[in-house]
Amino acid sequence: MNLLSILQSVNLWLHLISMAVWVGGMAFFLFVFGPAAHSLAPADGIRALNHGRQSFQTLSWIAINLLFLTGVLNFLFRAAASGLHFGTAYYSILTVKLLLFLAMTFHYSLQAFKYAPRIASLTAQTGDGIESWPEPLLAAWRKWFTLLKINTTLGAIVLFLGLGLSGR
């Protein structure tokens, strides 16, 4: 194995690990962490969900940036290896994949910059003895989770488009 193919493999693995962190993290938050936080006593659940959101957001920003960087490098390595001779399907799949990735990043920015600050401030206003989830906080979480559901679905589609690229 020459240096170029070693770097290409390392980059591809970093791409797959970043994908597993972001798309896997979304699925875990949607299907495991979210329902678990709602099964706790309201005061504990409200704090646990907000704390989990903060960790998820930090990991997601790292994964999104790594996905874009390793994705571009994936393309450049493949271009170097194939002398820029890609099948027509390669370009169309990559274009659709990039558009969906940009849509996912836009949805994620709405979660992080529009709804997260509201969730954080409403969470800070809730006392330890609270008996039920306040409606304004629930409303903000519902919007955040709706974007999470859309992104988890798009993430699965982009994953398959990625597999479609590597087979070409």
By CB under 6 A, what part of segment 86-145 binds ligand HEM? 94, 97-98, 101, 104
Binding test (CB under 6 A) with ligand HEM, winner from 68, 107, 112, 116? 68
Two structure tokens written together for 11: 């980059």
- Is there a contact between 42 and 141 (Cβ–Cβ < 8 Å)? no
Nearer to ligand HEM, 31 or 36 (CB): 31
Nearer to ligand HEM, 43 or 110 (CB): 110
Query: Taking the complex as a whole, how short is the minimal distance between the CB of residue 39 and ligand HEM, in angstroms?
Result: 29
Helix axes 42-82, 88-109, angle to 10 degrees: 150
- In terms of Cα–Cα distance, which of 19, 34, 16 is closest to 145? 34
By CB under 6 A, what part of segment 21-50 binds ligand HEM? 22-23
CA atoms of 125 and 129, how far apart (whole Å): 12
- Is there a contact between 43 and 50 (Cβ–Cβ < 8 Å)? no
Site stretch for ligand HEM (CB under 6 A), options 30-38, 130-138, 139-147, 156-164: 156-164
Two structure tokens written together for 149: 């559901």
**Interface residue list for ligand HEM (CB under 6 A):** 12, 15-16, 19, 22-23, 67-68, 71-72, 74-75, 78, 94, 97-98, 101, 104, 155, 158-159, 162-163, 165-166
